[in-house]
């Protein structure tokens, strides 16, 4: 039975003994209030298959991903001694939070820059450079955790198969990623502005923002049975007066790289002008996030 929740924001508390085996699948689409640095559920894009990253900018301007990622860790509920894989670990802050709960955790990421920063941040933890779709782990983990990373991994079927192989029987995947129409207004603004420049060909998408049904099908084709799924809006306050510019430079700058360097500033300013009436508020820039939170069990 599928439960359709109301559009009123509603917290879901799942007892541990029911979390992964007995509760009904819930599909929920809901609006939530703007996430700020005081919330426990806001996050920014993490790292997966993106071509390059600036870990210094990531740490300085987008640190709320690891400061406020507690909700997904709470859903994972790692136990002392459990082996946990943090897939798309970024700079390692959430890996460290999992380790603080007593789990034996390994952080993996496809970005050498992010792995280097994670090892510098947490030298006592284990981090490994891995392409998610090519992981060779076999029945090694009780849990796979991923926060704001899977949407960078566009080979979703191969990634799901690798996750399934890595999990032991009845092991769980607990993840949050961008859902259908995540950052839709930002992407629309970038593409509409760049279409005015005659030298620009729109790059192939480097992100994967699925619906509940789409991603459930991908997971279940790899032997991962979906037990919980929730798609919801999460407008997220960006840091500083230049928050949108910093966000674009970190996550969407590949759109601008084909322009001559002297025209990139002009194009960026035009994008900001389009977005200002939509995503600027008195307290700053807001990113139009839509998040997909999901729990699946290896059967």
pLDDT tens digit sequence for 3-51: 323 222 333 334 343 343 333 333 334 444 444 333 333 333 333 344 4
Query: Is 255 inside a domain boundary?
Result: no
- Coil, strand or helix at 47: coil
Query: Is 227 inside a domain boundary?
Result: yes
Per residue in 208-258, pLDDT tens?
999 999 999 999 999 999 999 999 999 999 988 999 999 999 899 999 998
Lowest mean pLDDT among 45-49, 173-177, 282-286, 295-299: 45-49
Query: Is 277 inside a domain boundary?
Result: no
- Rounded distance, CA 188 to CA 207, Å? 14
Question: Any idea what DSSP says for residue 35?
Answer: B
Query: Is 190 inside a domain boundary?
Result: no
- Rounded distance, CA 92 to CA 121, Å? 7
Question: Total domain count for the chain?
Answer: 1
Q: Domain residues for 36?
A: 3-183+204-237+285-298
CATH number, domain of 73, equals: 3.40.50.150
Query: Is 189 inside a domain boundary?
Result: no
Query: Is 154 inside a domain boundary?
Result: yes
Query: What are the respective helix, strand and coil percentages of the chain, to the nearest 5?
Result: 35, 25, 40
- Rounded distance, CA 273 to CA 279, Å? 10
Other CB atoms within 10 Å distance of the CB of residue 140: 16
- Rounded distance, CA 298 to CA 225, Å? 6
Query: Is 43 inside a domain boundary?
Result: yes
- Coil, strand or helix at 243: helix
Query: Is 134 inside a domain boundary?
Result: yes
Q: Which residues pair with 290 in a beta bridge?
A: 233
Q: What are the two backbone dihedrals, phi and then psi, of residue 164, each rounded to the nearest 5 degrees?
A: -60, -45
């Amino acid at each position: 039975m599928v439960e359709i929740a109301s559009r009123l924001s509603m917290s879901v508390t799942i007892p541990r003994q029911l979390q992964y085996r007995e509760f009904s699948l819930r599909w929920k689409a809901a609006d939530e209030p703007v996430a700020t640095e005081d919330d426990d559920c806001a996050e920014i894009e993490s790292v997966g298959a993106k071509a390059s990253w600036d870990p210094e900018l990531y740490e300085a301007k987008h640190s709320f991903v690891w400061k406020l990622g507690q909700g997904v860790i709470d859903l994972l509920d790692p136990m002392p001694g459990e082996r946990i894989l943090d897939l798309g670990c970024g700079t390692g802050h959430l890996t460290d939070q999992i380790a603080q709960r007593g789990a034996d955790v390994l952080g993996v990421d496809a970005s050498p820059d992010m792995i280097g920063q994670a090892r510098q941040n947490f030298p006592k933890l284990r981090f490994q450079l891995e392409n998610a779709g090519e992981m060779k782990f076999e029945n090694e983990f009780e849990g796979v955790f991923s926060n704001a990373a899977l949407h960078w991994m566009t080979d979703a079927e191969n990634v799901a198969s690798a996750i399934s192989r890595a999990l032991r029987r009845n092991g769980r995947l607990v993840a949050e990623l961008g859902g259908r129409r995540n950052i839709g207004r930002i992407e629309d603004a970038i593409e509409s502005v760049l279409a005015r420049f005659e030298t620009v060909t729109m790059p192939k998408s480097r992100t994967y923002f699925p619906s509940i049904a789409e991603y459930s099908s991908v997971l279940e084709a790899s032997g991962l049975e979906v037990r919980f799924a929730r798609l919801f809006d999460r407008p997220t306050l960006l840091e500083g007066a230049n928050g949108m510019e910093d966000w674009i430079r970190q996550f969407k700058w590949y759109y601008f790289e084909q322009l001559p360097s002297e025209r990139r500033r002009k194009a960026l300013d035009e994008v900001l002008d389009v977005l200002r009436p939509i995503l600027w508020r008195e307290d700053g820039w807001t990113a139009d996030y839509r998040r997909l939170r999901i729990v699946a069990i290896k059967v």
